[in-house]
């Protein structure tokens, strides 16, 4: 693997940790994350280091409250990639199935730990630890989702925005400069609504994840 790809693996693994809920498990990983970032060349690791330093400096209660306010209470910061492209439609169920299929095709067993398969930290972890090429393809396919999240966080969250800036900078080609340009990457919006209430994909998965069930990437039969 080229050195640049190896560096990106480390960058994606660090981003996966920083975009996850900053409870004891993630906070315990921060020294390792920061040490790994310090060994990488270029400006992108410094973007992630700023976020890691802020999470480390804040008390756990402060960091967790900010995470909830940023990602749980605003749909404009959805960490689930297909939410941006499919919304609350039947098509989204098919898309989630395709994510699972991509994981199966990697030859590994991916334990979602109660999370949806399009959760950005999970996709980043898959890219870093399991199948770099397949993960990069997913990030590129859902470039519109990642870029829209970047744009929204740039307006609302100085702590988390640099993480998305770094992720987008690793993808080929220039990033869109506006919401309109990013939305154009996603194609026409879905129109079919399922159910009567708006769908928030984060509530149940996050409640399950925070109950203490770890998420694992375990090697399966090849």
CATH for 19: 1.10.3480
Task: Read off the pLDDT of residues 146-170 as tens digits, 9 standing for 90 and up.
Answer: 999 999 999 999 999 999 999 999 9
As a whole number of angstroms, the distance between CA 170 and CA 136 comes to 10
Q: What was the pLDDT predicted at 109?
A: 72
Whole domain around residue 44: which residue ranges?
Answer: 3-219
- Domain tally, the chain: 1
Q: Name the CA dihedral angle for 74, 71, 152, 159, rounded to a multiple of 10 degrees.
A: 140
Residue pair 153/18 in contact by the 8 Å Cβ criterion: no
Q: What was the pLDDT predicted at 66?
A: 97
- Sequential DSSP letters for the chain: --HHHHHHHHHHHHHHHHTS--SHHHHHHHHHHHHHHHTS-SSHHHHHHHHHHHHHHS-HHHHHHHHIIIIIS-GGG--BHHHHHH-SSHHHHHHHHHHHHHHHHTTEEEE-TT--TTBHHHHHHHHHHT-HHHHHHHHHHTHHHHHHHHHHHHHH-TTTHHHHHHHHHTSSSPPPSSHHHHHHHH-SPP----SSSPP-TTHHHHHHHHTTPPPEEEE---
Residue pair 205/115 in contact by the 8 Å Cβ criterion: yes
Q: What was the pLDDT predicted at 204?
A: 29
Residue, of 177 and 139, whose pLDDT is higher: 139
Task: Read off the pLDDT of residues 198-221 as tens digits, 9 standing for 90 and up.
Answer: 333 333 233 333 333 334 454 443
């Amino acid at each position: 693997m080229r050195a640049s790809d190896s560096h990106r693996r480390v960058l994606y693994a660090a981003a996966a940790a920083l975009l996850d809920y900053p409870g004891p498990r993630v906070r315990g990983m921060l020294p390792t994350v920061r040490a790994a970032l310090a060994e990488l060349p270029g400006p992108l690791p410094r973007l992630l280091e700023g976020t890691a330093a802020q999470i480390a400096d804040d008390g756990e209660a402060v960091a967790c409250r900010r995470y909830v306010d940023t990602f749980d209470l605003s749909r404009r910061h959805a960490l689930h990639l297909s939410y941006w492209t499919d919304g609350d439609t039947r098509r989204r169920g098919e898309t989630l199935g395709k994510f699972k299929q991509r994981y199966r095709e990697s030859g590994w067993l991916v334990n979602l730990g109660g999370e949806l398969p399009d959760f950005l930290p999970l996709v980043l972890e898959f890219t870093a630890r399991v199948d770099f090429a397949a993960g990069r393809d997913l990030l590129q396919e859902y470039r519109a989702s990642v870029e829209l999240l970047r744009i929204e966080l740039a307006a609302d969250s100085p702590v988390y925005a640099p993480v998305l800036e770094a992720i987008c900078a690793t993808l080929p080609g220039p990033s869109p400069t506006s919401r309109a340009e990013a939305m154009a990457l996603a194609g026409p919006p879905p129109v079919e609504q399922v159910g009567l209430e708006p769908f928030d994909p984060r509530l149940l998965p996050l409640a399950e994840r925070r109950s203490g069930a770890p998420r694992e990437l375990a090697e399966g039969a090849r």
